[in-house]
Amino acid sequence: MKFDQDLLLTYKTLLQTTELEKSYQEFVRLFRYLRVELEKQLTDCKFQGAVVENGMDYSYFQFTSESLKKKGLKLAVTFVHRDFRFEVWLSGFNRKYQSRYYELLKNTQQPFTLTSDPRRTDYILRIPLDRNLDLSDGERVLAEVRAAALELLAYMETVEAA
């Protein structure tokens, strides 16, 4: 099997000439902090697994409430690396649930970003957080993530099960 030598050399150079490794470790520390603190604060929610580091496309962790679980839905706190931005996503347990709720929500007004294709994205609704959020302020990031999650949870309480 062949691999792209130029990309591997670029990666090597970045590791040797920048603080990429330490920077990424600091990001992971922030993300784990968010997960632990949210789990402490959102006691009515069940958190699933650990932080998933998805090849630097995006990283996420998931949780659900009893109400969302009955609907086949969950929330994901997501960090989109290329945009360097946190988002909170409403997702289905699988594409079937995603498509079902997309059909239910596509002709309604809501203050969230609705996916254009539930079969090709990992969310139904999403709330992008402020692009200029100071990520070094963990408490502020936590407050913003928590507020977005609570907003999605409250909204979905008003949506009947599909």
State which residues form the domain around 53. 5-157
In this predicted structure, the answer to whether residue 162 has a pLDDT above a threshold of 70 is no
Contact present, 35 and 61 (Cβ < 8 Å): yes
Q: Please check whether residue 162 lies inside any domain of the structure.
A: no
Distance CA 12, CA 77 (A): 30
Answer positive or negative: Cα dihedral of 83, 107, 93, 50.
positive
- Count of structural domains, the chain: 1
Residues 142-149: what's their mean pLDDT?
99
Query: Is residue 161's pLDDT more than 80?
Result: no
Q: What is the pTM of this model?
A: 0.93
